[in-house]
A and B are shown apart, each in its own frame.
Chain A
Amino acid sequence: MDQRKCECGHTNPVGTLLCESCGKPLDIELVEQKEFPDMRYEGMARRSQTYTTRIVDRVWNTFSSVKIAIWIIVVILVASGLGTIFPQQQFIPVPVPTELDVERFYTDTYGVLGTIYYQLGMHNMYSSWWFVTLLVMLGTSLIICSLDRVIPLYKALNKPRLNQHKSFLKGQKLYAEAPKPADRSEQELLEQTAQALKKKGYYLFQTDRALLAEKGRFSRWGPYINHIGLILFLIGVLMRSLPGFHLDEYVWVREGETVPIPETPYYVKNVAYKTEYYTEEEMPQKLDLNGGAIAKSYQTDAILYLNRNADIPGAKPDLVEVKSGPIIVNHPMKHESIYLYQSGFQEMQLGALNFTLLDVKNGNKEIGPIKLDLYNPERDIQVAEGYKVRVLDYFPDFAMGKDGKPITQTNLPKNPMFAMEIVSERDAINEKVVYLEGSILTQKNDAQFGLKISMPDLIDITGLNVRTDKALPLVWVGSFIFMIGVVMGFFWQHRRIWIQFQDGNILIAGHTNKNWFGLRKEVEGMVQQTNLSVTLEDKSKV
């Protein structure tokens, strides 16, 4: 039906630029050919140009167009740029609990432009439906463009073009034609040129009148291999939104505390945290640090537990240790697909207050120590035989409320206030004391008991970043394949040299996909070695 016949007798599919059999440029075509066609796809018919009737074919052809692919890339680039003008919602530096706060943030910070930015949804651009659609369109275009080109190209290259039409050879950028030297036969000449080219690493295809020398064909597959890499990369990124494939959480853990890791059945315990600093001897030169220090390492000694009772959130955990050891920056703790990274710390935080109970009226006799845990204070503390302290009130972050009553501003012990009752069963005395901002207030002026403030327990809080990224290996493999493709395409060239005899003349033609200088050198070397007197035309210089 829609096939065309070349003068050599071969019928070519619609869209063919160079006859599949003899390589002669075909004139009457979809496009009028004024010059010798581009050799990029060996003059093969790209299948997208063939059928345009069905919807499926039309969609296919749209995505097969490199022009459209470039537009998709340009739109993605421009959009990605626009998304960086103002911060994305997740990077807003102040808390924005409701959508209203988000809107207000953009308006208050960036004015009218900020409002427009928010209204257009640019504050959540990279996960917006249209941006995601663009990415999938890019992937589609990548797959279809590649398929539509690699298959015809493979077919063309797999069948070496040996007995090409003169116009094919003449159409090449590197071409020479001269009378056949009379001192040698055609066979001898072919043999000599073949030897010369073989030394240069060429594969040879020969008939008794023609020679094709070829090397580096695999570099033509480079672009397609790097497209496979990109597609795997995109699939890897897409897989992140599958449940369980991606986790990025942050937990703060006090020394001695065991906390659940959100979205997982695991708990982590901070056994100890420490920051190590370089000593002066370790420094290569004297530095003026103004009393500061340079950190050497940040380390949490941690234990990872699996909760066997994770079915009901909040229920009393049944923990089994699965892993323990240090977590150091760049050396995460790994268990199955979970990684725990050292990524923050708060040192010297109040953990517990320490007091000594004194019998003031007995010459400040020490009765015993009192420890008040700021995160989980006990109600009754037995200080010594017959002496008890009872906590009445605890405000972790004390302030005076508007109604004059004490309140706490947060649930963190930033400014702890304790009201206590000291009970002496032996003396039948009951006295109230208050601890606030480093001082002790007693109820009575001539109190029997007093509290001596000792050094409080200071603890370190470690910030651990918990990550899972099961799609990461695929992203790596994709990137690696991409790199292989780039290297193949960049550092090798597909070179071909044709030698033929026609009408008593020797014809030499050369083609390469890049580095014409290199090809020219090799052809010149061959001409010299075989003592041919031909002059090479090089149309690439024009």
Chain B
Amino acid sequence: MNKKNRIYVRVAILGLLLVALVFALYSSFVKDPNAVKVGSTAPNFSLEQLHGSDLALDDLKGKGVVLNFWGTWCEPCKAEMPALQKKYETYKDKGLVVVGVNIGESPITIEPFINQFGIDFPILLDRKSQITKLYRIGPIPTTFFISPEGKVEEIFIGQLNEAMIASKVEKILP
């Protein structure tokens, strides 16, 4: 093999190995490529509502969406419910929807809870925790603030109060 060919072969082999390195590094940095992050598009889903028909996230395009994952057993979820309801009432006419995704409970358990706080924003039933897994929910409450274009603007883990909701909602109003 002459010198010229040798250099080509070496460049080709080293290039291939460099590609392998880049790929390996990429997959070590991005451990979960499907994770929902700030800036990514909120994955679409469709769930049965507590009262009414199915609701898909894509149906809410054009509106700011506050997507709240909760359960009746979770104290901070309970504590933030009135604030969510109040802010929903305030911003409802400006194009905001609050959507509560209940994690794996039966309607009989959910209903008295909802009635207790006078909640009238849509409550979705994630009976098989499918959407909870899709959104990689760890501790609850976890709340996603989604822009009218369907982009995740902020993810908040923990209890929200009215002021926090108001400031975050300002960013996602249409």
Residues of A at the B interface (CB closer than 8 Å) are: 47, 51, 54, 56-57, 59-60, 97-98, 127-129, 131-133, 135-136, 139-140, 143-144, 147, 235, 238, 241, 243, 259-260, 262-263, 312-316, 375-377, 379, 391-397, 407-411
User: What chain B residues lie within 8 Å of A312 (beta carbons)?
Assistant: 44-46, 56
Which residues does B use to contact A, with CB under 8 Å?
3, 6-7, 10-11, 13-14, 17, 20-21, 23-25, 27-29, 31, 33-34, 43-48, 54, 56, 71-73, 103-109, 112, 126, 128, 130-131, 133-134, 138-139, 157
The verdict on A259 contacting B128 (CB below 8 Å), with A56-B10, A97-B139, A241-B27 known, is yes
* A129 near B56: Cβ-Cβ < 8 Å: no
Residues of B within 8 A of A238 (CB): 20, 23-24
Are A98 and B157 within 8 A (Cβ)? yes
Q: How distant is A63 from chain B, measured CB to nearest CB, in Å?
A: 8
Q: Does A127 lie within 8 Å of B17, measured CB to CB? A: no
Q: How far is the CA of A382 from the CA of B31 in the complex (A)?
A: 52
- Least CB distance, B6 to chain A, in whole angstroms: 7
Given the known interface contacts A57-B10, A314-B47, the answer about A410 and B23 at a Cβ–Cβ threshold of 8 Å is no
A397 and B73 form a contact (CB under 8 A) = yes
By a CB distance below 8 angstroms, the chain A residues around B23 are 238, 241
Chain B neighbourhood of A136, CB < 8 A: 17, 20-21, 24
B157 surroundings in chain A (CB, below 8 A): 97-98
Please determine whether B14 and A56 come into contact, CB atoms closer than 8 angstroms.
Answer: yes
Provide the residues of chain B in CB contact with A147, threshold 8 Å. 13
Nearest residue, chain A, Cβ from B9 = A147
Given known contacts A128-B28, A260-B128, A409-B73, is B17 in contact with A314 (CB within 8 Å)?
no
Task: Report the bound CA distance from A131 to B128 in whole Å.
Answer: 38
How far, in whole Å, are A392 and B107 apart by their CA atoms in the complex? Answer: 11
Tell me whether A56 and B28 are in contact (CB under 8 A): no
Task: Say yes or no: A408 contacts B109, CB within 8 Å.
Answer: yes
Question: CB-CB < 8 A to A56: which residues of B?
Answer: 7, 10-11, 14
Q: Report B102 CB to chain A, min CB distance, Å.
A: 9
> Which A residues are in CB contact (< 8 Å) with B46?
312-315
With A391-B108, A394-B106: A313-B131 Cβ-Cβ less than 8 Å:
yes
- Are B130 and A260 in contact, CB atoms less than 8 angstroms apart? yes
Complex Cα spacing A47 to B13, Å: 15
Provide the bound-state CA to CA distance between A136 and B28, in Å. Answer: 12
* Residue from the list B21, B31, B45, B109 in contact with A314, Cβ < 8 A: B45
In the complex, 9 of the A-B residue pairs with CB atoms within 8 angstroms, ordered by the A residue number, are A51-B3, A56-B7, A57-B7, A144-B13, A375-B106, A377-B108, A379-B107, A396-B105, A411-B71
A57-B128 Cα distance, complex, nearest whole Å:
58
Given A377-B108, A411-B104: A98 and B7 within 8 A (CB)? no
Identify which of B29, B31, B133 contacts A262 (C-beta below 8 A): B133
With known contacts A51-B3, A98-B138, A238-B23, A143–B108 Cβ distance under 8 A: no
Nearest-CB distance from A448 to chain B (Å)?
24
When C-beta atoms are compared, the residue in chain B nearest to A407 turns out to be B73
Residues of chain A with a CB closer than 8 A to B103's CB: 411
Residues of A within 8 A of B134 (CB): 313-314
* Alpha-carbon distance A235/B130, docked complex (angstroms): 33
Complex Cα spacing A263 to B130, Å = 10
Min Cβ gap B8→A in Å is: 10
**Which of A143, A407, A411 is packed against the most chain B CB atoms within 10 Å?**
A411
Q: Which residues of A contact B108 (CB under 8 A)?
A: 377, 379, 391, 393-394
Q: Would you list the 7 A-B pairs with minimal beta carbon distance, nearest first?
A: A241-B27, A315-B46, A97-B138, A314-B45, A97-B139, A313-B45, A314-B47
User: Given A133-B25, A140-B17, A262-B133, 6 other A-B contacts at CB below 8 A?
Assistant: A57-B7, A98-B139, A312-B56, A313-B134, A315-B47, A396-B105
Q: Which residue of B lies closest to A137 (CB)?
A: B21
> Which B residues are CB-close (under 8 A) to A410?
73
Name A316's closest neighbour in chain B (CB-CB): B54
- Complex Cα gap A410–B106 (Å): 13
